[in-house]
Structure 1
Amino acid sequence: MTAHQRDAVATREAILAAAVVEFTAHGYAGAGVRQIAERAGVTAMMINRYFGSKQGLFAEAVDRSFGPATVVGSERRGLMRDMARALAERTAPGAEGLDPFLLMLRCASDPEAVEIVRRGVEAHAGARLAGLIGGDEADVRAQLGLALVAGTWLMRVVVGTGALAAADDARLAELLGAMLAPLTQEADTRRAGDADADATDADADADADAVT
């Protein structure tokens, strides 16, 4: 990579990082291209050069925000337990925030921005969780799980309702886990049933072979 290419990558990264901060703080409509450029240390023209438009920049900022795993893990085993624990810890007073959900909240009043956020949520956190859940209605189950995550974050962090804000993290994780667990239980039951059916078929085939 040449020095010019390295500079271009660094510039693009600086703009994107600045955009995530500004969009999260002010929403899509409230974040100005000029303010993003100033934070990144570039001119507003550079944003159009690298991202085409404010909309293009916002779409990449959403991907940057929802791409990394925050609450949804990478392993199916203990998925909902780990998800509940992470949610309780990440919404605790003084904890590192769940900025992707703040970005989503800030942009909720803008139809254009909401559509971009929807695509980002479905492509990243939604698809990741659905893939781990598996089985019938995995997408619906995954989005119900994300709805619980977003609602818990909203009530505990943004609104700060007394009982949730004061709740013990470990106990809250237990309660959340109990609410999330059914999202995978049916798929687990069906997997077990399929395995039993396969075993029964194998036994029947073996018996038939023995007779013949």
Structure 2
Amino acid sequence: MSHDGADLAQSSTPPKRVRNAAATREAILHSAVIAFTRHGYDGVGVREIAQSAGVTAMLVNRYFGSKEQLFTEAVDTAFAPRTVLSDNPATLAGDVAARLVDRTAPESEHLDPFLLMLRSASNPRAAEIVRAGVERHAGRYLSELLGGPDADERAMLAHSVIAGFWLMRKMLGSTALVLADPVELTHRLEALLVVALSPSVEN
């Protein structure tokens, strides 16, 4: 009898928080990435992020310490994947151009890290965090992939082309870029990226 009672008591015991700590943290971080991407750093608070994740604001602060730290980790999560970059230097410009044209098409609905960057740039501290995230992830990856002289400069120049195209076609909806033939647009964009990525030629 006592054994059955112990089993019943054990079966009614809620799952230990420790067991779900990683999943809870991941849920908060996922909610934060979406919220900051849609609304920017200043456009959303810890309470809204917590509610979306199904937890309390106190629990968010317990896991991440502050909104700034949560944003820092959200930036790392958003910028770690290589959304348009490939791993082949020989076809890099063409690969990036094709992926960028596809991801900025009017019908595309990607949760892009570029939006997080754009919508948080007005806050000086958030802009610092985003810049560090870009340099730590996409910037460093591209710089190491390129190698050679001025690799950092060429990598950031290419990212500037990517960001500018993203802004004009996806965010502002430039009529000429939206209505352009995707194949022709990809070829033109590839040509720009080739110039940005190539080492300077000494005369």
TM-score for the superposition, normalised by structure 1: 0.84
The aligned counterpart of 1:178 is 191
For residue 30 of structure 1, give the secondary structure of its aligned residue in structure 2. Answer: coil
Q: Report the count of equivalent residues.
A: 188
Partner of 2:9: none
Q: Percent identity?
A: 54
Q: CA deviation at 1:122?
A: 0.3
Aligned equivalents of 2:157, 2:98: Cα separation in 1: 17
The residue number in structure 2 matching 1:24 is 37
1:13 aligns with 2:26: yes
The letter for the 2-side match of 1:42 is V
The aligned residue for residue 41 of structure 1 is: 54
Shift of 1:5: 3.9
Which of 65, 71, 85 in structure 1 is aligned with 2:98? Answer: 85
What is the CA distance between 1:3 and its match in structure 2? 6.0
TM-score (norm 2): 0.88
- Residue 138 (1) aligns with residue 170 (2): no
Say what the alpha-carbon RMSD is for the aligned residues. 1.8
State the distance in 2 between where 1:171 and 1:115 align.
36
Higher helix share: 1
Find out whether 1:97 has 2:110 as its counterpart: yes
Give the deviation of 1:75 after TM superposition: 2.1
Aligned counterpart in structure 2 of residue 109 of structure 1, from 98, 119, 122? 122
Q: Is the 8 A contact 1:19 1:61 kept in 2?
A: yes
SS for the counterpart of 1:120 is helix
Superposed CA deviations along residues 67-87 of structure 1, whole A, max 9, x for unmatched, are 001011122221111111111
Secondary structure (helix, strand or coil) at the match of 2:85 reads coil
Runs of 5+ unmatched residues, structure 2: 1-14
How many angstroms apart in 1 are the aligned matches of 2:198 and 2:150? 12
* Whole-angstrom distance in 2 between the partners of 1:154 and 1:123: 22
Summarize deviations over 1:131-169 as a string: whole Å, max 9, x none.
111111111100110111111010001111110011121
